[in-house]
Every structure is written in structure tokens, then in C-alpha cells.
Amino acid sequence: MTAQTDTAAAFPSSVVTLQSKYDFEETVSRLKAALAAHGVTLFADIDQSAAAAKAGASLRPTRFLLFGNPKAGTPVMEANPHAALELPLKAVVWEDSGSAVWVDYQDVTATLELDYKVDANLIAPLKAMPTLLSGALA
């Protein structure tokens, strides 16, 4: 599913866009709970709209989540140290002008396999993340 924004926005094919049936704060809360329940560490929760406000600008409600599981990511980075540029994983929760809430997730699995030449077996644990995220929004 592709989110509609106020402007024609392009994004890479590696971005998975999910619509939430919950409001903005509930969506963030559900995602954080789902990550924790699956042993995924939340490294950062950055409120980008609050940062914009501090700079005197306005931005729709937007939160950037940085997360991962060292048991899954470490073998990938051991196989190719450059792959650390793609890890930890990241997602952004944002609200459009119609108050619909979206979650964009950067699925790096194809990039890790094709560009970094990481063995598919090492990447396999990361392939479940879109399902985990969509489950939190159901």
C-alpha cells in the first residue's frame, strides 16, 4: 500500500508502507510493545516533529524509530563490516493531512544480499520484520 501525502513523494522500492488503524500515539505505542515482545531493542525514538518545533518549523506528527536485535545484526556485520551502514533497522511513523497514520519501514534485506553480498541465511531473521510491524497495526 502506498501512502498519499500532500505532495508527490518518491521513495525507494525497499520502503514498505503500512497504514495503521490506530491514532498516532497508539500506533507508536503498539509498535514499541511489539518490538519489545519479540526481543527487539529500541535504540532510539526520535520525535522529529518536536525537533522541528524547537527549530521554529512545523512538521506533521513524525517519529523515527531505530531498532534491532544484536543476535540477528551482528552476524551480518561480521560477514561484511560495511553492512553496518544499513543496521540497526529503522521505521518512521507519520500522520498525513487527513489524520491517517502510516508506518514506513526500510527493508534492507535485498540491499544486504545484493549490494553487500551477505549470505541469505544470515539475512533470514531480518525478513520477518515487515510481518512483525504489520501485526502490531492489526
- Is the model's pLDDT at 113 over the cut of 90? yes
> What percent of the chain lies above the pLDDT cut of 70?
94
Cβ burial of 91 (10 Å; 0-12, 13-18, 19+) is buried
Average pLDDT over residues 89-112: 96
Higher pLDDT, 10 or 75: 75
Chain-centroid distance of CA 123 in Å reads 16
Convert the pLDDT of each residue in 8-65 to its tens digit.
Answer: 578 888 899 999 999 999 999 999 999 999 999 999 999 999 999 999 999 999 999 9
From the CB of residue 58, how many other CB atoms can be counted at a distance below 10 Å? Answer: 8
The domains of the chain are located at 15-136
What's the confidence (pLDDT) of residue 11?
Answer: 81
Q: Model pTM?
A: 0.90
The CATH class for the domain spanning 15-136 reads alpha beta
